[in-house]
Structure 1
Amino acid sequence: MPADYHTHTPLCLHATGEPEEYIAAALAAGLTEYGVSDHAPARPEPFDDWRMLESDLPAYYDWIERARAAAGSMPVRAGMECDWLPGCEGWIEDLAGRYPWDYLIGSVHYLGVWDFDNPKWLGRWAESDVDAVWTSYWQTYAEMAKSRLFDILGHPDLVKKFSHRPAGDLARFYEPAIEVIAASGCTIELNTAGWHKPCEEAYPHPQFLALAHQAGIPLVISSDSHAPGEVARDFAKAIEWAKSAGYTETQLFEKRQRRAELLGGSRANMPYQEHDS
């Protein structure tokens, strides 16, 4: 199975389980590698109620080391999922220097002050112009990619989580963002958690995935697990989605450099490539 790099810990206040339980699940799934990437702190604190605080970072480093101790010969990579927020660039650069990270995931969960994927604010969707929300989301996502602060861009079409989608061909939203992502050198993820949300569809949509492959954008497959039983969830199905879009390989990360892994788990005979971030 490919590496699973998008996974969480209880430090984000909405995940459960111990490092050893996550590693046991990763080993049972036959993952190539496992990565820890909890929601990074954001300023000013407390920013919201679903992420680490800056004071939690030492405990987070300890979590990663416990996972490594339990993993035997399976590599455990260190990452964070960082929110793209207005003016966040200096803070992300600060966090990037705090630890020898293997990768950073960039995600868009906020449009202004609205964390649009939070069920707490589901009613706001009924008051919103869906086309306008999608336009804002994809512009924000492209800005995140353009920053080149991240190695992996998380759940590309998270905006569809509650099944609010504009009418017509959605390529009009996808194509401009894909152009920017391709120029950035970032990797995107095929995130299986969407199959278990109201949209009942992995992130991103197959059309986006096919366009991304055509543009030469690298791919990882991720579970976005918040409990041990979710590690590598639906990976066999995701592999088929990736192959249908034209992908033959995913990516492995170490010290913010990447190399190819053939779909099916074999490492391609390629050196790590540094991501210009």
Structure 2
Amino acid sequence: MTSYHVHSRWSDGAATIEEIVREAERLGLEEIGISDHLVLYPYGSHIEWSMPVDRLGEYVDEVLAASRFARSARVRLGIEVDYLPETIESVRELLRPYPFDYVIGSVHFIDGFPVDEHRRYWDTLSPEMVNETWRGYYARVADMARSRVFDIAAHLDLPKKFGHSPTADLSEEVHAVLDAVAASDMAIEINTSGWHQPANEAYPAPWIIRAARSREVPIVITADAHNPKYLIRGYGDAHKLAREAGHTAVARYHLRKRLSVPI
């Protein structure tokens, strides 16, 4: 079993990398991936839940060092990077020198609108604006996949977090996202953290997981853990969800190469 979407104190997590690795070993995980946030924000301010861009090398060194004290779990070097069209080429060059095992791509901002920061931002939107925000989100995720910078697409329907669902039928937009993901040979995650938000549903919705399977898009089971005690929270239900959608394997990564392991 693996846990790849994990945040430490390098971004917005509650624990050190060593504490995370120790808990992963206590849980019997075969692989533990550290994937702290990196945001190259184009609007002139630092995002407080992102690691400082100029300390990326230190972060990489600390994750690699964890492999030397880990006893039973393999430590994988990951990172979660926000897709922003204004900075994606800088991201590509920034990541290039480092031996990442996988890169998670996510969208947390749409033209400065914070998708998952607080429900109050959504509460101010009319139903039409909610629909347009969802459309903008899916357009960004599709562009993220087309950039071919990333290995895994994070929380594909994140805007549902606070319970603001679109009133319009956006299935075409979702299918466009999945087509882009498949064309770029990416995986998607089944992210269990959505079960612990007002949406009360894993990311993404079951029908999206089924649609991914029809395109042979691989999956990764993740908890989006910001505390070591949540490293495998909801994994039993996530594996059931994956099987019901027709998935028989999960993806693992080493040095940006993917392999499949039976569920």
Output the TM-score relative to the length of structure 2: 0.92
How much does 1:167 deviate?
Answer: 2.8
**Range that drifts further, 164-173 or 152-161:** 164-173
In 2 relative to 1, CA 108–43 (structure 1 residues): closer, same or farther, beyond 3 Å?
closer
How much does 1:170 deviate?
Answer: 4.8
Residue in structure 1 matched with residue 185 of structure 2 by the alignment: 185
Residue in structure 1 matched with residue 231 of structure 2 by the alignment: 231
Residue in structure 2 matched with residue 102 of structure 1 by the alignment: 101
Residue in structure 2 matched with residue 40 of structure 1 by the alignment: 38
- Tell me the secondary structure at the aligned position of residue 217 of structure 1: coil
CA distance in structure 2 between the aligned counterparts of 1:259 and 1:178, rounded to whole angstroms: 20
Match of 1:15 among 13, 16, 32: 13
How much does 1:15 deviate?
Answer: 1.6
Tell whether the 8 Å contact from 1:26 to 1:232 is kept in structure 2 after alignment: no
Residue in structure 1 matched with residue 51 of structure 2 by the alignment: 52
Residue in structure 1 matched with residue 259 of structure 2 by the alignment: 259
CA distances 1:193-218 after superposition (whole Å, capped 9, x unpaired):
11111111110000000000011101
CA distance in structure 2 between the aligned counterparts of 1:66 and 1:200, rounded to whole angstroms: 37
Residue 130 of structure 1 pairs with residue 130 of structure 2: yes
CA distance in structure 1 between the aligned counterparts of 2:245 and 2:210, rounded to whole angstroms: 4
Tell whether the 8 Å contact from 2:64 to 2:77 is kept in structure 1 after alignment: no
CA distance in structure 1 between the aligned counterparts of 2:91 and 2:197, rounded to whole angstroms: 29
C-alpha RMSD of matched pairs (Å): 1.8
How much does 1:242 deviate?
Answer: 0.6
- Tell me the secondary structure at the aligned position of residue 76 of structure 1: strand
Tell whether the 8 Å contact from 2:63 to 2:77 is kept in structure 1 after alignment: yes
Structure 2 spans left out of the alignment, 5+ residues: none
Residue in structure 2 matched with residue 207 of structure 1 by the alignment: 207
Residue in structure 2 matched with residue 269 of structure 1 by the alignment: none
- Tell me the secondary structure at the aligned position of residue 103 of structure 2: strand
**Range that drifts further, 215-224 or 123-132:** 123-132
CA distance in structure 2 between the aligned counterparts of 1:240 and 1:33, rounded to whole angstroms: 21
- Tell me the secondary structure at the aligned position of residue 90 of structure 1: helix
Task: Pick 1 or 2: higher relative contact order, CA cutoff 8 A, min separation 6.
Answer: 1
- Tell me the secondary structure at the aligned position of residue 10 of structure 2: helix
Residue in structure 2 matched with residue 64 of structure 1 by the alignment: 63
Amino acid at match of 2:158: L
In 2 relative to 1, CA 144–230 (structure 1 residues): closer, same or farther, beyond 3 Å?
same
- Tell me the secondary structure at the aligned position of residue 10 of structure 1: coil
CA distance in structure 2 between the aligned counterparts of 1:239 and 1:262, rounded to whole angstroms: 11
CA distance in structure 2 between the aligned counterparts of 1:138 and 1:126, rounded to whole angstroms: 20
Q: How do 1:142-161 residues align onto structure 2 when only pairs under 5 Å count?
A: 142-161=142-161
CA distances 1:23-82 after superposition (whole Å, capped 9, x unpaired):
122123322211111001414564321101123224312431343233213211101101
CA distance in structure 1 between the aligned counterparts of 2:100 and 2:9, rounded to whole angstroms: 19
Q: Which runs of 4+ in 1 moved over 3 A?
A: 43-46
Tell whether the 8 Å contact from 1:23 to 1:70 is kept in structure 2 after alignment: no
CA distances 1:109-157 after superposition (whole Å, capped 9, x unpaired):
11001122101x6234432421111111111111111111101111111
Amino acid at match of 2:28: G
